Structure 1
Amino acid sequence: MKKMANVFIATCVSGLSDAVRKILPSTSITSINRINKDAGPGITHEEVAAIEKHADILLADVPVIQAVAHSAQKLKWAASTWAGVEGLVKFIKDTKTPSFTVTRMGGAFNTLMCEYVLANILARERHVLELAKQQEAATWDKVPYMKYRSLSELTVCILGLGEIGTAVASLCGKLGMKVIGVTRNPVADDRKCPEVTQYSLVTDLSEVLAVSDYVVSILPSTPQSRGLLSADMFSHCKNKVCYTGDMFSHCKNKKTVFINIGRGDVVDEESIVKAINNGWLGGAVLDVFDQEPLPPTSRLWSLPGVIVTPHLAGPSTANQ
């Protein structure tokens, strides 16, 4: 009889072990609750030792996989609960390639991150925050908010057309937005997303920013992407030209809004502050930061036009 694999689950995601047990009721599963901490695996030395000695399969947050990468005795497969792989890639490059297969979470992030982007675009275009403040003041005045743009009038630039970026681009395109996809290398015709109106290279980023109402970064953290969006690059958003339909109808002085759901080190805080204060950006929606948690002293918390969320655009519950 084939021996049953020992599965270990070590994560901050509440209820993940129970969800897996429902799917695999006959599988031997050891559940470890990881403490979400900035440094270290977030589990005890005894729990690390148990994984090293007994685990055949490990479903875990990246810091746990790093902790056992070169000491696991039986491990055949480690599945990360995170979408990002840069932490593991850097760890492997700095040490050595592990003897087991490593995979990342895929697919589950697409819909929720699409919803995050769409929710923020709609909220800004329909003046949701301003109307909420008006409600708090018990004021009835619709005149300032009667003018808004429909989704079909918007041009959205997507930086990073991986799995998640393509899903965001597809949704935006299906809702009528003009979508410009920016990639580092040319994309073959058979791999292009049909909802992407225009493909551009990162070398043309300044021209793309100048015609975009929204710039959505879903870029990973790589040597090529870190610091890509400097304040000087954001200056191209100042005099935005907007295309409506098939003709160049008019120039709008509506500033571009930057949405970041990729990695925080694509742009530094000072560049965002400078871009907002100089009028290059009309606002920003930030879910990721170079330093997390974002320090209370950060100017981003109170910067006009900036929405700060605590890295929650992707799934954070077991069911998700």
Structure 2
Amino acid sequence: MHVPVSADQGHDPVITILHSADRPKHLDGPNVRFVTDETLTAALPGTEILLVWDFMSTAVRDAFPAADSLRWVHTASAGVDRLTFPALLDSDVVLTNSRGVFDTPIAEYVTGLVIAMAKDLAGTLDAQAKGEWRHRESERVGGRTAVVVGSGPIGRATAAMLAAVGMRVELVGRRAGEGVHPIDELPGLLPRAEWLVLAAPLTDTTRGMLNATTLGLLPPRARVINVGRGALVVQDDLVAALRDGTVAGAALDVFEKEPLPADSPLWGLPGVIVSPHMSGDILGWRDELETLFVDNLTRYRAGEPLANVVDKTLGFVTGSAR
């Protein structure tokens, strides 16, 4: 795959790609600039399109004043919270994301976590490593209640997959819709949530939504799975709830600070699974991200509406993904 840098409408837009050690393998051309956090500011003048390939970076905020020609920013992630700073939000720059790439992989990951925790896979592996024949009973998945917070494509795919294994699923979104509870009904759903899955975007409304108060509404057998953003959870409150038995366990793929510090108590708490922000990263996912960007670049050059345009007043894409 090669970026077609000759524009159909008579100009060749300069494309700057912000990356870390990992960079796109198939995007190149004379008008493509590859930069890191340290060189972004110097590269922004004259840049028309910015691809944020390093979606963990926060460098765009500081470098943004140097952007004198920028018209479109695309991020290789579904979440856009690292790009929703005032200067970009108040500008005419269009923001798009990679919605649609991660839906099914994350749904599979969540479903796998539910089954692994219900069937005590961790205990089986521990016993095997010790050479112990440790018979025990496991939990049923079918018929259990899962509350999934986030009614975008990831949340909907997760809800559908959990329902397919027999779970009763309550889907919660920003506002009510067909099969969706509005977010203000969440406190009433939590007391019967045996599994609470967080797949919401990080906004002013959702930041810290799982805290001491909301954790206290969960039944003691509940488990929490977070595949959204780390800041959806007040991490110290979750640690306290796990220690005192307010909740039975957690599977966390995202954290307030990443990588998770080595001294975090989450590493050693019983009933906790820690994974390194990988729930959507399947084999070939980078190729899919490149393809999505090139498809949108073709739209841009043809003067067509871009896909996955983020509503900057809400912080996420509304409407269909592609």
Distance in structure 1 (CA, Å) of the matches to 2:77 and 2:45: 21
Distance in structure 2 (CA, Å) of the matches to 1:105 and 1:96: 18
Aligned partner (choices 200, 210, 222) of residue 219 of structure 1: 200
Determine whether 1:140 maps to 2:133.
Answer: yes
Q: In the alignment, what sits opposite 1:174?
A: 164
Amino acid at match of 1:153: G
Q: In the alignment, what sits opposite 2:50?
A: 58
Determine whether 1:301 maps to 2:293.
Answer: no
Determine whether 1:71 maps to 2:62.
Answer: no
Mapping of residues 1-320 of structure 1, within 5 Å: 2-12=10-20, 14-16=22-24, 18-20=25-27, 28=30, 30-32=32-34, 34=36, 42-44=37-39, 47-53=40-46, 55-60=47-52, 61=54, 63-89=58-84, 91-92=85-86, 97-141=90-134, 143-145=135-137, 147-149=138-140, 151-187=141-177, 189=178, 192=179, 199-238=180-219, 255-315=221-281, 318-320=286-288
Structure 1 counterpart SS, 2:278: coil
| Closer/same/farther in 2, CA of residues 50 and 206 from structure 1, 3 Å limit | closer
Q: CA RMSD in A?
A: 2.5
Report if aligned partners of 2:192, 2:219 keep a CA contact under 8 Å in 1: no
Amino acid at match of 1:170: A
Which gives a bigger RCO, structure 1 or 2 (Cα 8 Å, sep 6+)?
A: 2
TM-score, normalised with respect to structure 2: 0.76
Structure 2 runs not aligned, ≥5 long: 1-8, 289-322
Give the number of aligned pairs: 275
Report if aligned partners of 1:108, 1:315 keep a CA contact under 8 Å in 2: no
The structure with more radius of gyration: 1
TM-score, normalised with respect to structure 1: 0.76
Cα deviation for residue 259 of structure 1 reads 0.5
Structure 1 runs not aligned, ≥5 long: 22-26, 35-41, 193-198, 240-254
Report if aligned partners of 1:8, 1:51 keep a CA contact under 8 Å in 2: yes
| Closer/same/farther in 2, CA of residues 29 and 157 from structure 1, 3 Å limit | farther
Amino acid at match of 1:215: L
Distance in structure 2 (CA, Å) of the matches to 1:72 and 1:117: 39
- Aligned-pair identity in percent equals 29
